[in-house]
Amino acid sequence: MSKSAAGTAENPGKNVAQKSGLNKAILDQGWGEFRRQLDYKMAWKGGILFAIPPHYTSQECPECHHVAADNRQTQARFVCVQCHYENNADHVGAINVLERGYRLLACGDAALSRSMKQEPTEVSQLSSV
């Protein structure tokens, strides 16, 4: 999420100063402490916190589970290239994270590692949520 946008000498990045400011703001939030507190509070209230791998959650169709970068036509719009399911991309990501959480709860880590191995090779870049 806070990867530098500087690029290389041959292929310089765009909006490097803006991304640098965003990176500082992200890192200043103390996400590790936020997660620790969330885990603590959930346990205190009798809940369980699951850390779900976010890879491809915004590129996977919640209907047919087809994963492709082309499913994300814009930052906000998700249209499955296989079954034509449409929704807001953030909503699709949330659906997939929830589904992975249910699978983790029902089947343990094996359910998530199996789904990660099923990622097709056509996905050219990792999404960071």
Q: Can you give the binding site for Zn ion, defined by CB under 5 A?
A: 61, 63-64, 66, 80, 82-83, 85
Residue that is written with structure tokens 């249209």 in the block = 79
- The 3-state DSSP class for residue 42 equals helix
Token digits of residue 93? 């990501």
> Closest distance between Zn ion and the C-beta of residue 105, in Å?
24
> H-type helices in the chain, by residue range?
16-28, 31-44, 89-107, 109-117
> Closest distance between Zn ion and the C-beta of residue 66, in Å?
5
Q: Of 35 and 77, which CB lies nearer to Zn ion in the complex structure?
A: 77
> Closest distance between Zn ion and the C-beta of residue 107, in Å?
22
Strand partners, 33: none
How far is residue 89's CA from residue 71's CA, in Å, rounded to a whole number?
9
Q: Of 83 and 110, which CB lies nearer to Zn ion in the complex structure?
A: 83
DSSP 86: E
Q: Of 2 and 118, which CB lies nearer to Zn ion in the complex structure?
A: 118
> Closest distance between Zn ion and the C-beta of residue 62, in Å?
8
Q: Is 67 exposed, middle or buried (0-12, 13-18, 19+ CB in 10 A)?
A: buried
Q: Of 19 and 66, which CB lies nearer to Zn ion in the complex structure?
A: 66
